[in-house]
Amino acid sequence: MRISVIGSGYAGLVSGVGLSEAGHKVLCMDIDADRIAALRKGHADIYEPGLNEMLAENVGRDHLAFTTSIEEAVAHAEALMIAVGTPPSEDGSADLAHVLDVAGNVGKFMSKPLLVIVKSTVPVGTCDRVREKICSQLDQRGKDISFSVASNPEFLAEGAAIKNFMQPDRIVCGVADLHSEQMLREMYAPFNRKKEKMLFMDVRSSELTKYSANAMLATKISLMNELANIAERTGADIEQVRKGIGSDPRIGYSFIYAGPGYGGSCFPKDVRALARTAQDHGFEARILNAVEHVNSYQKTRLFEMLKDEFAGELKGRCIAVWGLSFKPRTDDMREAPSRVLIDSLLAAGAVVRANDPEAMQEAALLYRNHQDFSVHANQYEATEGADALVLVTEWKHYWIPDFERLAASMRQQVLIDGRNIWPQSAALRHGFSYHAIGRPSARGR
C-alpha cells in the first residue's frame, strides 16, 4: 500500500517506519527541512530505542522516503495519515490548527480517491471537521472526488514505541464505512496475524478512546501519589501498600508507583484537553481536574523535601540531580518533574549539577542562561561536593548506587529517592539521611 504520513515527529515517524518495515511504500512529510535532510540519511532527531536502525534499513530498501512537499505526499498516497502535533492552547484545549491545515491541503491537492487517517490525538468531533475542511477545498476547486476520514489513534509509550507499534496490544480504528475498514485491515494485516487486535468502532468513540486511556492511566498515578502523601503523614510505607493493593487482580501492579508526578507530551496535555472538551459540552470533569491538581502539587514535593531537610535555607547549596527526562529510555523533558525541581532550586539560589543518559543536551539548551546549572557525563561526577542527591528518573543504572563512593564525594550525606527504588538499609549503613515518596524518612549513623 502507498501510504503518506504527514508530520515526522514522534508518532508520525514511528508509524511511518513501522509501516515501511511491514513492506508498505511510505512517504513521510514534514515542513522542517533540516529534520527531513537528517531522516533521509537515516538519522532521527529523537531518541527512541531501535528507531534509527529500523529507519536506516528501510530507507536503504527504498520502502521509506521523506519530503517537505505536501503536494508530493498527497499525490503518493492511497492512504494518508495525519500525525501532526496538537499542542495545548492557553485554555487547555487541543490546538487543531496544524491538523486542519493538513486537511485543507489534502482537499487542495488530491486528485484520486483517498483514505484520510487521523493519527494525531484530537478531541471528539475532529474527524468531522477534517471532512468539512477537505470538502470545502474540493468545492472551491469544483471537484467531486470520493474520500473517507477514519480515526486511528496511537498508543505508543516513549521508550518502547517501536515494540508498541510492531507488537500492538490493540489497534483502534474509528470508521464510517466498510471501505475504510477494509483498507485499514489491509494496512495493519502484518501486525494482526497471531490474534485479532483490531477494534473497529464509530469515529467519535475512537477519538474518545485515546483520551480516555491516557486519563485512566494518569488517574492511577495521581491517586497513588495522593495515597503516598497520606502514608507520609500517618507513618505508613507506600511501597508496602502498593504490594498489598497490586495483588488484587482488579487493580494490578501497573501505574501504581508513587513518584514525583507524571510528565511528557501526552498525559498532561490530554488530561487538560479532555477536561476542556467536557467543559465545552457543559459538564465539569471533577475527577480529571483533581488528577491535574494532584499532579501539579506532586511535582513540587522533591523541592519541599529539600527545603525541609535544610530548614528552608537552600541558597548556595549544591544539589545533584540524577534523571532529567520525564521517564527512562527517552530524551523528552516536556513537563518533566525534573524541570519543576530545577526551576525551584535555581530560583532559591541553589547550584544544580545534573546527569542523565539521554537528556543532557536538551537540559543544557533549556538552562543555557543559568550559570548555576551544569550537566556532567558521569553520574558520580555530578555528585562531587553536593549537599544532597535527588533521584528524579529511574534509569536502570541509577538503581544500585555506589554508596561508599557517594559518601566520599558528597559534602553532606542526604538522599532524596523520588522513585522509591534505593535500598534504604544500605543507604543508612553508609551514614546517609534517606527520604522517599510516601515512606518514613530515616537517618544513618
Confidence of residue 194 (pLDDT cuts 50, 70, 90): confident
Q: Report CA-CA distances (Å) from 381 to 297, 343, 400, 405, 406.
A: 31, 21, 16, 10, 10
308 contacts: CB under 8 Å, gap ≥ 6 = none
249: burial class by Cβ within 10 Å (0-12, 13-18, 19+)?
A: exposed
- Report pLDDT for 240: 97
The SS3 of residue 417 is: strand
- Report pLDDT for 443: 87
Q: How far apart are the first and last CA of the chain?
A: 67
SS3 content of the chain, % helix, strand, coil (to 5): 45, 15, 40
Helix 203-234 to helix 238-246 angle, to the nearest 10 degrees? Answer: 140
232 contacts: CB under 8 Å, gap ≥ 6 = 238, 437, 438, 439, 440
Mean pLDDT of 209-232: 97
Is the per-residue pLDDT at 445 higher than 70?
no
Q: Do 78 and 115 form a contact (C-beta atoms < 8 A)? A: yes
Mean pLDDT of 266-276: 95
Question: Each residue of 32-44: pLDDT tens digit?
Answer: 999 999 999 999 9
Question: Each residue of 89-112: pLDDT tens digit?
Answer: 988 899 999 999 999 999 999 999
Cα–chain center distance at 103: 25
- Known catalytic residue: 28? no
* Cα gap 361→383, rounded to integer Å: 19
Nearest 10 degrees: CA dihedral of 42, 364, 10, 132?
-120
Confidence of residue 148 (pLDDT cuts 50, 70, 90): very high
Confidence of residue 210 (pLDDT cuts 50, 70, 90): very high
Mean pLDDT of 206-233: 97
Strand order in the sheet with 114-118: 64-67, 25-29, 2-6, 79-82, 114-118, 147-151, 171-174, 198-201
Mean pLDDT of 63-72: 98
Is the per-residue pLDDT at 56 higher than 80?
yes
| Residue of 28, 127, 173, 266 marked catalytic | 266
Mean pLDDT of 143-162: 96
Q: pTM higher than 0.85, yes or no? A: yes
Question: Each residue of 232-246: pLDDT tens digit?
Answer: 999 999 999 999 999
- Report pLDDT for 44: 94
Mean pLDDT of 195-220: 97
Is the per-residue pLDDT at 213 higher than 80?
yes
- Report pLDDT for 349: 98
DSSP state of 383: G
Question: Each residue of 1-16: pLDDT tens digit?
Answer: 999 999 999 999 999 9
Q: How many CB atoms within 10 Å of residue 361?
A: 12
Mean pLDDT of 19-29: 97
Cα–chain center distance at 95: 18
Confidence of residue 378 (pLDDT cuts 50, 70, 90): very high
Q: Report CA-CA distances (Å) from 252 to 68, 212, 243, 244, 389.
A: 45, 18, 9, 10, 31
Mean pLDDT of 136-152: 97
Q: Which range has the worst mean pLDDT, 91-95, 207-211, 288-292, 345-349?
A: 91-95
